[in-house]
Structure formats: C-alpha cells, structure tokens
DNA sequence: GAGTGGTCTAGACCACGTA
DNA sequence: ACGTGGTCTAGACCACTCA
C-alpha cells in the first residue's frame, strides 16, 4: 500500500471541516504556521494544500488577514446568472413570484426523492411559480432537506423564492441536472399558462454539499420562454467527494451523459 | 504593475503549445530538468506548473517515461458517455447512422455560423440522423471548421458519424450548449418520425480549441427519447483562454445562464 | 540500474493589505 | 509597521517504471 501524500491529507482534512459545515462560510482557517505545527511539516507542504483549496474555490486567501471559507456569493468571480429572478431582471423584465403551497413530510413518504436526498429525515416540499412581465416563466416543485439545512424551516418562502434563499445561504459542491422536453397535459398547461400539448422544457436538479443532499427541484418552462446555456472546458479529474464514481455509473444506466465543468455560481 | 509568477508563465507556455496543436496528443513534453535549464529556475517551480497542467487534464505524467500531452481518449479518467453512438449502445439498443447530405461552403455564406466558428474560411456542412433500435434518436445539423480541422475534409462521414470522429481526433477546450424545447413543424416531425406538434428537445453546441472554433452542431431529439444529464461542482476560476469574459457577457444578453464544470469526455 | 516524476525540507525574499 | 500569503531555491529521498 502507498500512503497518501501529506499535502493531500491536510487538504482533505480542511475540506471535511468546510463541507460538513463545522467551518461555515467566513470562518478563518488556521494560519499556515499553525498548520505547520499541527502537522509537523514545512510551510511549502501546508501551502500546497491551501493553494489547491483556493483554486478549487473552497477558500479565499488574503495576505495579512488569513484564509477564509469562501461564501457562496452571487457576485462570483465568473460572470454568470445565479437564479431565475436575476435572469429575468437581467433581461429587463419584471419578476414576480408566487408560492402555491408547502408541506413538511418525513422523507420516507417521498421514497423517490428520499433516495436521492441522502440523509434526509425531514423534507420541506414547495410548489411555486416564477413570472416574467406577468406571464408564467416557470413552475417549480422543490424538496429541501431540513436535516442538512435546518435553517430553511424558519424562512418565509412566500416572500423569498427558495432557490434564491438557498443560493445565498447554503454552499454546494455537486449538482446534477436532467433536461428533457415534453408536451404538457391539461394540468401542467394551466399551471404554465399555455395551451394543452404545447412543448415545455423540464429541468430537474439535485444539489449536494459533500455527501448530504441539499435540495431537489423540478422546473417546467414554457418552451418559448426558456433557453439554457452551458459552457465548460474538458475533463478535470478533481475528487472533492467519494460520491462521483457511484453517480457516474448511475448515469450510464440511465442514458445520455454529459458531465461538465468550469462554472460560476448557479441557481439552486 | 506586477509580473506574473514564473510557474504561471511556464504553465501558460506549455498550454499554448498544446492548445495551438503544435504539441499534439501524445507529444512528449520536455523533462522537468530541461525546463529548469530553459527557464533558469528550480525544479519545484517547473514541477508546480506541470502539476497544474496534470490536474487540469491537459497532460499525463508517467514516472521514468516523462510527461505527455493527453489524448482525447474516450475511456477518460471520468466515466462518462462520449457520443450518441456510445450512449445508445450503453442502453443495450442497436445503433444506426444515416448521412443525409453534405456540402462545402465558404464560411461567409453562413454568416450566423461563421461568426461563432471564428477563423473558419471553409466549412463542411453535414446533415445526418441517429437511430436507436430502428427509430430516430436524433436529427443532426453540423458545421465543421475545415480551417481548424483540415483532416476532416478527407473523412468518409457516410461511414463514421462526425461527432464520433471529432471526439477521437480533435481535442477541445471549451464548449457552449444551448438547450431548448419546442413543438415540431411538419418537416421536422417527418425527420424525427413523430407527429406534427410533438415536443422535441434542441441541443445546440459550439466547440472550441483555444480561440479557434472547431464545430457547431444542432441536434433535435424526439422528446420521449432524450434525457440529458449534467453533473458538476461549484465555481473554479480557471483561465485557459481569453474568450471567457466575452462569451459570458453574450449569455447575459441572451437569457438564462448556467455555466458548468467538472467533466469527462463529452460528445462533439 | 538508471532516470523520471512525487514529495518534502528549511530556509529566503517579496507583495500586499490590515492595523 | 507588521504579519500574512506568494513565490522561489537548492537541495533531498523515494517510488515507480522502463530498459
């Protein structure tokens, strides 16, 4: 057996503190010389671990001040649109939001969601709609893992869209999208304000922080109103978590897979 | 002004050789001690640059043998589906391919494509269909930049799907997707073998190698047959090219943006 | 066996931002 | 001014792998 390099163990340790939430956004990570003493190694070794975390976007480093757990900020380094509200307003259209209903359930009742939102014992279910200039932009069905995000239980989601709140308060490390198209049935057509049989785009998204599922959301867009753009570069084999291989295998069983990289902030 | 770090300049120099095609896949990069002499620095500095390129997936490092430009291999480090043929066969269905027609044009004739495929003076236009178990899986309209990929002029695309060939022969660094849904008109419905008005998913993709556009493709899928999956982690501000900011701005003007990262190989 | 990359050291100087 | 991180050095030993 070969022992994992020390710089990798240091990086993994700090990473665990962040992904578990023990070191929340804004937390000041121990100085390099403190980590030197803790691990009994030279500063170059500590520095390599911290540099890797900084390039991965998990921490921010500031001279003289120290290193800090990165906040899931909207104005991220890369220019992207973080959520539906921002997207609509960036077009110069008026954004409105409507909460339809909410429910709290034990996750076992939603077995299909529960299997994806691992570790969820309590779920918050939301249904809502987004409007652009008065017409329906998207219908949204969402589940939030209250076990992983207990603070969500006390948020007034009639006033704040859940995606916007999550994006501003919960860092995420992995996401998976499913995109598909379909003709609407009567109920869906009414929710979207289009005619029965009209095409709609379905965007399904799972979000994780480390191994814990954060949220699952399914958004339906009237076909003519939505246009999803994705940019990325080729393969980078980074291993933030151990989940990757399992999920990738699931993809193969499912169908077409396009795995992607190189992002800024995005909607939750 | 602050001078860019030496390790960054070394990385950028090697990166340019690869992205320009001067160092093709499989090319052996100079040994670390050679780069030390060339740049007059210590091995740690060279090593840092090469390590960054290796984690970015641009090069492969092998002890005793040296470092090599990574090949755009299908069985990449991350397990993903590279193209439609592989995706269909992974489902256990039979794959068939049909070339409808081809044309060679001067790029100025296709102004809408020419503006995206920068540097293209000659374009190869293809239309083809993909079948799964005998029924239409996708209709594809593609443009290949013959200026950037001259070898494509001599390929028999009646026998090899263009996406498959490109994936195996041309490395890419950036891609942009547009996904949308719509109801089919009469001509499209016939091409896809579905009824008029049936929903279809449109996947539009631009691919670049460095600053040069490689290919543009628009694929239409019958709604019930397609399900695109994308996985990725959060922001990593890597700068492979200079194109990013410009494109990101274009996105904002256009509509919703989701930029993404963390990929394996994908279809071209 | 020999030569590559992987890792690590124990220093050093500098840039920068906070105080 | 001071202490942080950013960078770099000139070594070192080791693991691995090809010849």
pTM above 0.85?
A: no
Quick check: B248 and A79 CB within 8 A?
yes
Residues in chain A with CB shorter than 8 Å from the CB of B231 are 174-177, 244, 247-248, 251, 259-260
pLDDT-based confidence at residue A72 (cuts at 50, 70, 90): low
Work out whether strand A212-222 and strand A199-209 pair parallel, antiparallel, or are unpaired.
Answer: antiparallel
d(CA B263, CA A259): 4
Indicate the pLDDT class of residue A257, thresholds 50, 70 and 90.
Answer: very low
Q: Which of A26-35, A147-156, A173-182 is predicted least confidently?
A: A173-182
| Main-chain phi, psi angles of A220, to 5 degrees | -110, 130
Q: Looking at residue A108, what is its pLDDT?
A: 64
Domain range annotation of chain A: 6-69, 84-254
Check whether residue A33 has its CB closer than 7 Å to nucleic acid strand D: yes
Q: Which of A54-58, A88-92, B125-129, B243-247 has the highest mean pLDDT?
A: B125-129
Express each pLDDT in B90-148 by its tens digit: 788 999 999 999 999 886 655 555 456 666 778 999 999 999 999 999 999 999 999 88
pLDDT at B110: 57
Does domain A84-254 correspond to CATH entry 3.40.1410.10?
Answer: yes
Nearest-CA distance B206 → chain A (Å) = 9
Render pLDDT for B44-77 as a digit per residue (tens, 0 to 9). 999 999 999 998 888 899 999 999 988 765 333 2
Own/partner contacts of A19-25, CB < 8 Å, gap of 24 or more, are A19/A173, A19/A209, A19/A210, A19/A240, A19/A241, A20/A210, A21/A209, A23/A69, A24/A69, A25/A69, A25/A70, A25/A71, A25/A72, A25/A171
pLDDT over 60 at B234, yes or no:
no
CATH code linked to domain A6-69:
1.10.10.10
């Amino acid at each position: 057996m070969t022992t994992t390099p020390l710089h990798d163990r240091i990086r993994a340790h700090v990473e665990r503190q962040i992904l578990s939430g023990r070191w929340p956004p804004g937390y000041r990570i121990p100085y390099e010389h403190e980590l030197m003493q803790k691990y009994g190694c030279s500063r170059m070794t500590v520095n390599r671990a911290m540099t890797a975390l900084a390039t991965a976007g998990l921490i921010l480093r500031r001279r003289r001040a120290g290193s800090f757990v990165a906040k899931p900020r909207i104005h991220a380094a890369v220019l992207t649109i973080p959520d539906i509200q921002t997207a609509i307003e960036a077009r110069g259209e008026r954004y409105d939001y409507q909460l339809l209903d909410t429910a709290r359930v034990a996750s076992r009742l939603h077995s299909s969601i529960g299997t994806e939102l691992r570790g969820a014992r309590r779920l918050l279910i939301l249904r809502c709609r987004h409007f652009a200039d008065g017409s329906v932009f998207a219908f949204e069905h969402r589940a939030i893992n209250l076990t992983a995000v207990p603070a969500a239980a006390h948020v007034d989601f009639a006033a704040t869209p859940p995606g916007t709140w999550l994006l501003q308060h919960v860092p995420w490390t992995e996401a998976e999208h499913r995109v598909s198209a379909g003709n609407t049935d009567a109920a869906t057509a009414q929710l979207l304000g289009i005619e029965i049989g009209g095409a709609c785009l379905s965007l399904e998204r799972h979000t994780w922080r480390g191994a814990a599922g954060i949220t699952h959301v399914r958004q339906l867009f009237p076909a003519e109103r939505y246009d999803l753009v994705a940019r990325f570069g080729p393969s980078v084999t980074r291993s933030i978590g151990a989940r990757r291989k399992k999920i990738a295998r699931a993809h193969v069983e499912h169908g077409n897979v396009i795995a992607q990289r190189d992002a800024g902030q995005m909607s939750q």
